[in-house]
């Protein structure tokens, strides 16, 4: 993969989509709808340390669901695969990002750790804010903060997530201090990053779990499982379609970012807060899709 | 990937699972339950032409659902991606192999071409028995026959598949001579192959759509899309779990075969007619899973 | 209940709704959309023989789903309650008139005889056109004909009903000559009546199964069960709402008629071909609802 | 209806079922499983003041879901039909007593006030413990207490009900102090009565909303709507079957009581704590069913 070539292609695509203001700001929590709609940035980070950034790549946004693969990785580190998957499955759910509670019919487990119910179960395995924040800081190799306005907004309005938590408690997927677990989940979603920082986090997954800068082994045992889950379940009810068209493991968040991984090569993170009805950033999605088609980035190409 | 190493590993695993007679013969059509339950074979075919076979690798069995990715490829060749996906989606359905009719809620399309409803829609795009058989013969590089006992058994008992067909007709996914389409579907499922032949068919997918023996370009434009769909949807309601554990695009059929692809390297086909409740051959599944773990075959490893 | 009073009230309501042309002609089969949209009639028949008619009460329309309670009664006469309910349940399904196939999860039986799947199972218990037609003629005390244009229209377009039939065959709810059963179902739906004739059919149910004119015992053993099912399941997914507001056992058909029964007193049949999204005639529904409210006709009043 | 005849019949049925110890004690909250399993009683109360009791008719049990029609009546009195039904529907849900959260697809309203989600919405309209308790005391014409062991048991274990509450809050069916509403719901379920007292409560519904003893008008405007809902929705996912076989409006509770109403004549309340998988008391159900068949009590007979 030629670095110059990719950068040139990205510049073209960035220009092409720059003025597209289709889509809507997320409004399920009030704070998310206060963002400047024209923000747009891209960051790539290669496993060999090269990086490339365009647009508002130092603008801070909250991680939202893009936090899920990393929290899942932390839970795997802490508890091991067997324990984690006794509580959460690995099957695509066909669930929309804003779907009501759906649990596997026979097991009553959440379908996978990439949807809200699974991610809430994962938070209940971690239950330690500084542990989580510290892990995310190691991944991004920078100091991170929680956006307390977003966090408070989540706390007071996220009745659906509380419904999920109570149902998980009912089915004994979650078995202890519930307030602490959901609190951590809201905090995890409210951690702020730039595309630059998120691209570095993604580069750990691209680099087989080893941090490309610090060389610390953060996800070595589990990176391939996380990538597999991102591929089959990372884009909610359009996971199949993204896998089909783009062919890269990815995760999107309603605040407007999409992180995609080209294993052994690079991560790419695009951000633009205007989302479609599936909760995916329209410009981020289009840009990554067109880049993949043009440069044949699919893992199956 | 060291050829000797793989062969040695396969021999060990073959021995290990040889006497495992867990599971049941498929009984949804009478003919399938008449098979010798202890049959067991493995065939690998490498893109460079090397091959390796163990056990009953010249025993003929009917393709059943393993025919789906190839029929899908033929439909793509004939009709193009846009047309095919105007009728059939690309999302995992979470559907069991014996599930009742489920169509996407808004579009009323089958979820994907790897489940029965999608495969029946695909058959209705081909509608030409000799075209289909000829294509499968090119893929396997051998002469193939339809098992007429199995075909007749399907014809007289497959009320669920007829229900699917009528529903597809209702939603205008299928719009013409219905009897011809379902007839072709049953014939496609009843084509007989050995693991040796099926491994060669799979090697076309492993070799970027170019036949490794004849060098004919059979699926070049579409191989990466087919592999992507096999990865996310090939193993029915355990597709996520297979992707997670094994990490290879695969397809299973109720007659007892599983075909998995290591892109750019090889295909592996295992056969044993004793299946689990998800319709997957138990020995074929275990063998491929353990081989992948041992040799780190996952596409994300 | 004062006859004069009811008639006076009906005249007022008929005038009130006469010019309401809200709603749409049924279009799921082409023939149904060719009807004059302004047709509107009401017929009441009392168990003591008095009758009252307004509007186009000699206009012929096809029975469609209003045939279901009577075909169900015939099946009970022929096969007995135990047999019939070994194949079809008695629970409301929450199903819309145009819903896809839904069968009870554990038993795979149709939910009840008032929805299409249940009615098709019932037709497969009768399997004799002259028997059915003869029974309906006895109920209406008149000569009846099948509208062959509607029947043929059903035959060539009703793919959903054929899907249902195949699924019933798959689950062994239906176990023999399938074409004959669905054919009879389409014929039963295509029998033509006037509101006058349909009101007489309903009066048999109001009169405890004894024909009010011929005194023949047509449904004596089963009338109370049929009324109970009409109350809980007769109006598809608005059955609960109709029971709540109107409080009478009733059945509607997409051709535009609604038949309601005041047990031991009278039947009332209203017809107007303009239907709402639930498949109920808007004027027929409004008129019966307002009459019931005004005269406190609810069985619980 | 001959009083002597009914009493004689009841005595026979009571003897017949006396020693039937089929079924299980409810165990979803620990307190309910501590009851003597052989308890069995019947109470009838006629609108003219006659009464009849057999067995442990002075044993106190908690109302559980039998409280729902009465709380619904109070909400109708307080808020009016329009308001109540802007928040809760009137359609049967096909839901089991222990089902997960299901809300109407388009409106996101609970299906009806007889299932948990609807009843919790109703509690949130009342929000006043003394008002509720006072109303239930007027209905039963006696002093009632809350069983605090059961109430506390509900409080600490009812995660599913809390999940429902949060989901109702999400869909804005419930819009204020949530803890107060669920607290009231648990208290309402924990009110203790004897069959004697519950039969009197039921007699208010049988007597058109007028208390047969105090002559107070407690439910006059709404009794017919409550009876209609009990008929279509009172017995959860066997409501259709109970309506079909027994033909009386009824409500059951998992603590073991079933209350059925013969409009204008009497109420009958049976109690036995051994329940079936649908949550209905087996002996209470059998006894009422057989009595209805024998004496043709169905409202449609």
Q: What percent of chain C has pLDDT over 90?
A: 78
Residue B2 pLDDT: 84
Collapsed DSSP state (helix, strand, coil) of residue B110: strand
Q: How many Cβ pairs within 8 Å bridge chains A and D?
A: 41
Report DSSP letters for A119-178, one per residue: HHHHHHHH--HHHHHHHHHHHHTS--EE-HHHHHHHHHH-HHHHHHHHHHHHTTSS-S-H
CA A91 – CA A107 distance, rounded (Å): 12
For residue D65, indicate whether it is catalytic: yes
Comparing A201 with A95, the larger pLDDT belongs to A201
Residue B97 pLDDT: 67
Residue D100 pLDDT: 67
Give catalytic residues of A, as residue numbers: 65, 68, 185, 236, 254
| ipTM confidence score | 0.93
Residue D1 pLDDT: 64
Q: How far is D96 from chain A (nearest CA, A)?
A: 15
Tokens 């739906």 -> residue? C189
Q: How far is A171 from chain D (nearest CA, A)?
A: 9
Residue D163 pLDDT: 87
Residue D257 token pair: 């009581």
Q: Which of A36, A37, A32 is nearest to A282 (CA)?
A: A37
Provide the residue count of chain C: 301
Residue B102 pLDDT: 76
Residues B187-192, mean pLDDT to the nearest whole number: 97
Residue A42 pLDDT: 97
For residue D68, indicate whether it is catalytic: yes
State the pTM of this model.
0.91
Residue A113 token pair: 């750790």
Residue B100 pLDDT: 67
Residue C1 pLDDT: 64
DSSP E strands, chain C: 24-25, 41-46, 51-55, 61-62, 145-146, 191-193, 250-252, 257-262, 266-271, 274-275
* Beta bridge partner(s), residue C250: C260
What dihedral angle (degrees, nearest 10) is formed by the CA atoms of D30, D31, D34, D35? -130
Residue B50 pLDDT: 96
Query: For the segment C283-295, what is each residue's pLDDT rounded down to a tens digit?
Result: 999 999 999 999 9
Query: For the segment A241-272, what is each residue's pLDDT rounded down to a tens digit?
Result: 999 999 999 999 999 999 999 999 999 999 99
Residue A170 token pair: 């009912």
| Helices of type H across chain B | 3-17, 68-87, 116-126, 129-140, 148-157, 159-170, 178-189, 195-206, 223-233, 239-245, 282-295
* C231 contact D CB<8A: yes
Q: H or E element: which one contains A189? A: helix A178-189
pLDDT at residue A159 greater than cutoff 90: no
Report DSSP letters for C22-57, one per residue: -SEE--SSGGGGGS-TT--EEEEEETTS-EEEEEST
Provide the residue count of chain D: 301
Residues C259-279, mean pLDDT to the nearest whole number: 96
The per-residue pLDDT of chain D, averaged, comes to 93
pLDDT at residue C203 greater than cutoff 80: yes
Give the C-alpha distances (Å, rounded to integers) separating C236 from A56, B78, C187, D85: 55, 44, 21, 19
Q: Of the spans B157-161, D171-175, D199-203, which averages the highest pLDDT?
A: D199-203
Residue C222 token pair: 């089963």
Answer whether C65's CB lies under 8 Å from C253's CB: yes
CA A134 – CA A146 distance, rounded (Å): 12
Using CB atoms within 10 Å of the CB of residue A171, give its burial: 0 to 12 exposed, 13 to 18 middle, 19+ buried: buried
CA D209 – CA D222 distance, rounded (Å): 7
CA D250 – CA D260 distance, rounded (Å): 4
CA A32 – CA A189 distance, rounded (Å): 12
Is there a contact between C263 and D300 if contact means CB atoms under 8 Å apart?
yes
Tokens 């499955």 -> residue? A89
Residues A212-235, mean pLDDT to the nearest whole number: 95
Q: How far apart are the first and last CA of chain C?
A: 13
Query: For the segment B78-121, what is each residue's pLDDT rounded down to a tens digit?
Result: 999 999 999 999 998 877 766 666 777 777 899 999 999 999 99
Closest CB to C225: pick one of D223, D237, D244.
D244
Query: Chain C residues with CB inside 8 Å of D301's CB?
Result: 224
pLDDT at residue D15 greater than cutoff 70: yes
Q: How far is C275 from chain D (nearest CA, A)?
A: 20
pLDDT at residue B160 greater than cutoff 90: no
Residue B236 token pair: 């029915």
**Could you say which residues from 82 to 111 on chain C have a Cβ atom under 8 Å away from some Cβ of chain B?**
100-101, 103
For residue C68, indicate whether it is catalytic: yes
Using CB atoms within 10 Å of the CB of residue C198, give its burial: 0 to 12 exposed, 13 to 18 middle, 19+ buried: buried
Q: Of the spans B176-185, C101-110, C191-200, which averages the highest pLDDT?
A: C191-200
CA B275 – CA B27 distance, rounded (Å): 10
Q: How confident is the model at residue B129 (pLDDT cuts 50, 70, 90)?
A: very high
CA C47 – CA D170 distance, rounded (Å): 52
Show Cβ contacts of residue C256 under 8 Å, excluding neighbours closer than 6 positions: C26, C35, C39, C61, C271, C272, C273, C274, C275, C281, C284
For residue D204, indicate whether it is catalytic: no
Q: Which of D196, D198, D299 is nearest to D252 (CA)?
A: D198
Q: Of the spans B67-71, B175-179, D220-224, which averages the highest pLDDT?
A: B67-71
Q: How many Cβ pairs within 8 Å bridge chains A and B?
A: 101
pLDDT at residue D167 greater than cutoff 90: no
Residues D68-95, mean pLDDT to the nearest whole number: 93
Chains near C (3 or more Cβ pairs under 8 Å)? B, D
Residue D207 token pair: 């007597």
pLDDT at residue C178 greater than cutoff 80: no
CA C124 – CA C75 distance, rounded (Å): 9
Cβ neighbours around A198 below 10 Å, total: 30
pLDDT at residue C98 greater than cutoff 70: no
Show Cβ contacts of residue C238 under 8 Å, excluding neighbours closer than 6 positions: C278, C280, D91
* B166 contact C CB<8A: yes
Q: How confident is the model at residue A172 (pLDDT cuts 50, 70, 90)?
A: confident
Q: Which of A215, A275, A265, A201 is nearest to A28 (CA)?
A: A275
CA B183 – CA B155 distance, rounded (Å): 7
For residue C72, indicate whether it is catalytic: no
Q: H or E element: which one contains D196? A: helix D195-206
Q: In what order do the strands lie in the sheet with D51-55?
A: D51-55, D41-46, D266-271, D257-262, D250-252
Show Cβ contacts of residue D253 under 8 Å, excluding neighbours closer than 6 positions: D62, D63, D64, D65, D66, D67, D189
Tokens 């491929």 -> residue? B288
Q: H or E element: which one contains C86? A: helix C68-87
Residue A222 token pair: 């589990």
pLDDT at residue B156 greater than cutoff 90: no
Q: How far is D85 from chain A (nearest CA, A)?
A: 22
Tell me the pairing of strands D51-55 and D41-46: antiparallel
Q: H or E element: which one contains C81? A: helix C68-87
Q: Up-side HSE of residue C168: CA atoms within 13 Å toward CB?
A: 31
Return phi, psi of residue C259, to 5°. -115, 125
Residue of B nearest to A301 (CA): B224
Q: What percent of chain D has pLDDT over 90?
A: 78
To the nearest 10 degrees (0 to 180), the angle between helices D178-189 and D148-157 is 130
Query: For the segment A59-80, what is each residue's pLDDT rounded down to a tens digit?
Result: 999 999 999 999 999 999 999 9
Residues D59-66, mean pLDDT to the nearest whole number: 97
Collapsed DSSP state (helix, strand, coil) of residue A50: coil
Q: Which of D238, D236, D239, D227 is nearest to D299 (CA)?
A: D227
Residue C159 pLDDT: 85
Collapsed DSSP state (helix, strand, coil) of residue D104: coil
Collapsed DSSP state (helix, strand, coil) of residue B14: helix
Query: For the segment B215-264, what is each residue's pLDDT rounded down to a tens digit?
Result: 999 998 899 999 999 999 999 889 999 999 999 999 999 999 999 999 99
Q: H or E element: which one contains A198? A: helix A195-206
Q: How confident is the model at residue A176 (pLDDT cuts 50, 70, 90)?
A: low
Residue C254 token pair: 């997409």
Closest CB to B224: pick one of A228, A229, A247.
A247
Is there a contact between C232 and D244 if contact means CB atoms under 8 Å apart?
yes
Residues D198-207, mean pLDDT to the nearest whole number: 98
Query: For the segment B47-62, what is each residue's pLDDT rounded down to a tens digit?
Result: 999 999 999 999 999 9
Query: For the segment C117-174, what is each residue's pLDDT rounded down to a tens digit?
Result: 999 999 999 999 999 999 999 999 999 999 999 999 888 878 888 888 888 888 888 8
Residue B61 pLDDT: 97
Q: How confident is the model at residue A140 (pLDDT cuts 50, 70, 90)?
A: very high
Answer whether D76's CB lies under 8 Å from D84's CB: yes
pLDDT at residue B159 greater than cutoff 90: no
* B292 contact A CB<8A: no
Answer whether D218's CB lies under 8 Å from D236's CB: no
């Amino acid at each position: 993969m030629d670095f110059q070539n990719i950068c040139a292609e990205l510049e073209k695509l960035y220009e092409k989509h720059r003025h597209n203001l289709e889509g809507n700001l997320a409004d399920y929590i009030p704070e998310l709808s206060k963002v400047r709609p024209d923000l747009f940035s891209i960051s790539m980070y290669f496993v060999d340390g090269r990086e490339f950034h365009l647009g508002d790549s130092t603008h801070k946004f909250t991680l939202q669901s893009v936090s899920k693969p990393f929290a899942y990785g932390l839970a795997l580190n802490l508890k091991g695969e067997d324990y984690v998957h006794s509580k959460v499955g690995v099957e695509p759910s066909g669930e929309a990002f804003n779907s009501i509670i759906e649990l596997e019919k026979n097991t009553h487990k959440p379908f996978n750790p990439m949807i809200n119910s699974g991610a809430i179960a994962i938070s209940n395995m971690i239950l330690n804010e500084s542990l989580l924040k510290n892990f995310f800081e190691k991944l991004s190799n920078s100091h991170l903060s929680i956006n307390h306005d977003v966090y408070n907004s989540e706390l007071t309005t996220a009745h659906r997530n509380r419904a999920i938590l109570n149902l998980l408690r009912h089915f004994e997927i979650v078995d202890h201090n519930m307030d602490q677990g959901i609190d951590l989940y809201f905090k995890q979603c409210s951690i702020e990053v730039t595309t630059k920082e998120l691209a570095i986090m993604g580069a750990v997954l691209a680099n087989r779990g080893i941090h490309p800068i610090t060389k610390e082994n953060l996800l070595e045992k589990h990176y391939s499982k996380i990538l597999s889950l991102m591929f089959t379940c990372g884009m909610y009810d359009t996971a199949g379609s993204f896998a089909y068209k783009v062919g890269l493991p990815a995760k999107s968040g309603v605040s407007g970012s999409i992180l995609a991984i080209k294993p052994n090569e690079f991560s790419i993170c695009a951000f633009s807060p205007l989302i479609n009805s599936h909760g995916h950033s329209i410009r981020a999605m289009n840009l990554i899709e067109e880049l993949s088609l043009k440069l044949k980035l699919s893992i199956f190409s």
